[in-house]
Amino acid sequence: MDLGSGIPGDGRCLFRSVVRGAHLREGKPSPCESHERELADELRAKVADEFIKRRADSEWFVEGDFDTYVRHMRQPQVWGGEPELLMSSHVLQAPITVHMWDKKTNCLKIIAEYGQEYGKESPIRVLYHGYGHYDALQSPFGSPKSKLSRGRSGAFLFVFEGVISIWSWLMENLGCWWICSCCKDLIKQQRAVIQYLIG
């Protein structure tokens, strides 16, 4: 088992996830940690500029004073959220899809989509853990233009970069199957799914 790290929780996780997801979408390898950090900080600056550019459209959905919010968002350790995902989609002119683990179904579900005006195919995919942390998702089928297979539940199969490396086997005809690993909760859920499947 590879115990490498996923997106670090350094206040830049949303921006790092979008940057890494954009690389994956374009078929490029993930940037090294230091380059990813630089790219995340560049994206943050462009997102802050995009808020100003789109002030009339965005002022109503940010908390508190708009100028203070944007000035605060320029700081590297400030967490990003939904407004920053929306502005990131405009900066990159690409759709962004946010997924979250559904404990009831033990599958990933889409919880938000941004930038649909830039197309719906091959979005940048990020995972929201529900604790203010984001990670990048990638399709196990390589090219962003690959068609994703569906299990009986209708859910897409995704593999995201996290704590455990991608496993090389899949079990056929067993319905919804996810290879998920990024935090302890998801690892526990993953093990429960494996136990269920191999029963």
CA pair distance 13, 33, nearest whole angstrom: 12
User: For residue 48, which amino acid is it?
Assistant: A
In the three-class reduction of DSSP (H, G, I as helix; E, B as strand; rest coil), residue 191 is classed as helix
Cα dihedral: 194, 182, 90, 119 (round 10): -20
Distant-in-sequence, close-in-space partners of 150: CB < 8 Å, separation ≥ 6: 156, 157
> 85 with 98: CB under 8 angstroms?
yes
- Positions annotated as catalytic residues are 10, 13, 133
Token readout for 25 is: 């979408």
The CA radius of gyration of the chain, in Å to the nearest whole number, is 17
Please report, for residues 19, 61, 129, 132, 154, the alpha-carbon distance to residue 7 in angstroms, rounded to integers and kept in the order given.
11, 27, 12, 12, 28
Residue matched to tokens 């605060």? 72
End-to-end CA distance of the chain: 21
